[in-house]
A and B are shown apart, each in its own frame.
Chain A
Amino acid sequence: MGAGHGHRLHFHGHSPVHRAPAHLKILALLAFVLVVVATPREWYLAYAGYLAVLVVVIGVSRVPFLYLLPRMVIEVPFLVFAALIPFVAEGPRVDVPLVGGWELSLSESGLVAAWGLAAKGTLGVLASLTLAATTEPSAVLRGLQRLHLPELLVQIMGFMVRYLDVVSADLGRMITAMRSRGVDPRSPRHWPALARTLGALFVRSYERGERVHLAMLARGYDGTLPDHASPGVHR
C-alpha cells in the first residue's frame, strides 16, 4: 500500500523553532493570528512588521521559502475573492489608467478591503504553514492535549492524521483506475465522473470508519482512549 512516509507539510529539521514545545508554538500562532486580524487595515507599517517577524522565524527554522511558497496555493480562492471586491464594492471610486487609453474604475473602500483580506490571509496562512513545517502532526496533537483541548476533538484529529494517507492512497488508486479506462481527470467533460468518484470515496471512507470502530469495540473500546496514547501520536 502506498501509505506515504512522513507528512507533506512537515520539513524535517533540528532548529530552535523545530525543538520548541508544540503547545507554546500553537499558542504563539494563535496570538499572532489574533493580533493580525485585530490590526486596522490602514496601519500598513504594522503589517510590514508582522511580515518581518515571520521572515525572521522562518529564517531561524531554516525552512526554505521555496518549500513554503507552493504550499500557499490553499489561499488562492481567498485571493480571487479579494481581487473581486474592488470591482463590486460601493463608495467613491478611483480611476486607474491602463495601457491603450482605457481606464479602470475601482472602489476605494473595496481596494482597502481587498488589501486587508489579502494581507491578513497571507500572514495567517504563512504562519500556519511555518507551524506545520516545524512541528510533526503528532507533536501538534500532543500540544493540543497539553492545552486541554477536549479529548474527543484530539481523538478525531488523531484519526484524521492517521487515515489521511490511507484515504489519499484510496483516491489515488481510484483515479488511476479511471485513467486506465480513458478518463482524463483534468478535462471538464469528465468532471461528473470525478464527482462520482469523490462521492464513492466518501462512502468508502465512511465504511472504513465503521470498520475501524468495530475493530476498536472488539478490543474493549468504551468511548475513552487509554490515557497513554492517542491515535496518530507516537512518542
Chain B
Amino acid sequence: MTPVLELNGVAFAYPDGHQALFGVDLHVHPGERVAMLGPNGAGKTTLVLHLNGILSSESGHGEGSVAVSGLPVTRKNLLEIRRRVGVVFQDPDDQLFMGSVRADVAFGPANLGLKGAALDKRVMDALEQVGMADYADRPPHHLSFGQRRRVAVATVLAMEPEILVLDEPSSNLDPASRRELADILRGLDVTLMMVTHDLPYALELCPRAVVLSSGRVVADGRTFDILTDEHLMSAHRLELPWGFDPRTISIDSLPG
C-alpha cells in the first residue's frame, strides 16, 4: 500500500543558517491518526511546512524527499500536493480572510477550479462536517474563537484532502470547544496528523505518536507507550499535565 506521507531523510536549514531538521524519516498510511509531539523548537512547524511544499530542499538548504500518496513534492506538482495535504494553521485569523464563512471555505476549492453548484455543494458539505452550516453567511471575524477554528478546519476539508494536518488544534479553546473539536475530528473519514503539546488530546485522538526532538524523530509508536515511557518523556522535555496518568484510563476508551 502506498503511504499517504512518505518522508525520506528530510533535512532543512533556514537561510540564516539555522538547521531545523536533521534527516527525518516518516511514513503515514491511509486512515491513520498520528500525533506529532515535541518540545518548542523541535522543528515541528518546519516539518509541517515541508508536507505541502511551502518549504522544501528546492526553497532552502535541504535534502531528502517528501511524497504524498506517491507524488513527489516538487515545484511542478505543488497545486496537486496542496490539494492532497490540507494544513490547518494555529491562528484562525491567519486562515480566515474573506468577508464571509462561505467565501472563505470556497477559497481553496475555487483555486482548484471548482465553480457554480459543485463549488456550493463542496462548501456546504465541508461546513456540515464541522457543524457550522448555519453560519455560512456570517463574517468569520464575528464568530467565537472555537467557531473560527472549526471554520478553519472546514476551509481545508473543502479541498477534499487525503491528509489533514492540524497545528495545535486545541490551543486557546475552552474545554467544551476542545471536546467538540475532538468529536468532529474523530468523525472525519480522513488521514490525520496533529502537531500538539496537548498530550491528553493526543492520547484521546491518535493511536500513534511520533516524537520530534532537535530536528530528529526520536520515537515512533503507540501513543500510550510513548506517554508512559518516563525516561523518553523527560529526555525530550515532554511532560504530562499535573494529575494526568494515562495508566488510569481504561484501555477500551483509547482509540485504535
Contact = CB atoms under 8 A, between A and B. Distances in A.
B98 A231 contact: yes
A3 B142 CA distance: 7
Interface in A188-235: 208, 211-212, 214-222, 225-226, 228-235
A208 B92 CA distance: 11
Contacts of B91: 211
A164 B40 CA distance: 30
Interface in A144-174: 158-159, 162-163, 165-166
Contacts of B82: 217-220
A122 to B, nearest CB: 33
Given A215-B94, A219-B111, A234 B106 contact: no
B111 A231 contact: no
Given A5-B142, A162-B99, A219-B155, A208 B94 contact: yes
Contact of B87 (A165, A218, A222, A229): A218
A217 B86 CA distance: 11
Interface string A30-72: 0000000000000000000000000000000000000000000
Chain B facing A: main interface SS: helix
A113 B123 CA distance: 58
A221 B52 contact: no
Interface string B149-160: 000000110010
A220 B79 contact: yes
B95 interface: yes
A214 to B, nearest CB: 6
A1 interface: yes
B134 to A, nearest CB: 16
Nearest to B144: A1
Contacts of B232: none
A175 to B, nearest CB: 19
Nearest to A138: B99
Contacts of A235: 99-100
A226 B106 contact: yes
B110 A226 contact: yes
B93 interface: yes
Given A220-B159, A228-B110, A214 B49 contact: yes
Contacts of A3: 141-142
Interface in B90-109: 91, 93-95, 97-100, 103, 106-108
B103 A211 contact: no
B159 A214 contact: no
A197 B110 CA distance: 39
B107 A212 contact: no
Contacts of A217: 54, 82
A215 B95 contact: yes
Contact of A219 (B49, B100, B108, B139): B108
List of 6 A-B pairs having minimum Cβ-Cβ separation, nearest first: A226-B110, A234-B99, A220-B111, A219-B108, A229-B103, A234-B100
25 contacts: A3-B141, A162-B98, A212-B97, A215-B89, A215-B95, A216-B107, A217-B54, A218-B89, A218-B156, A219-B82, A220-B79, A220-B83, A220-B108, A220-B159, A228-B106, A228-B110, A228-B119, A229-B103, A229-B106, A230-B98, A232-B99, A233-B98, A233-B103, A234-B99, A234-B139
Interface of B: 49, 52, 54, 79, 82-83, 86-87, 89, 91, 93-95, 97-100, 103, 106-108, 110-112, 119, 137, 139, 141-142, 145, 155-156, 159
Interface of A: 1, 3, 5, 138, 158-159, 162-163, 165-166, 208, 211-212, 214-222, 225-226, 228-235
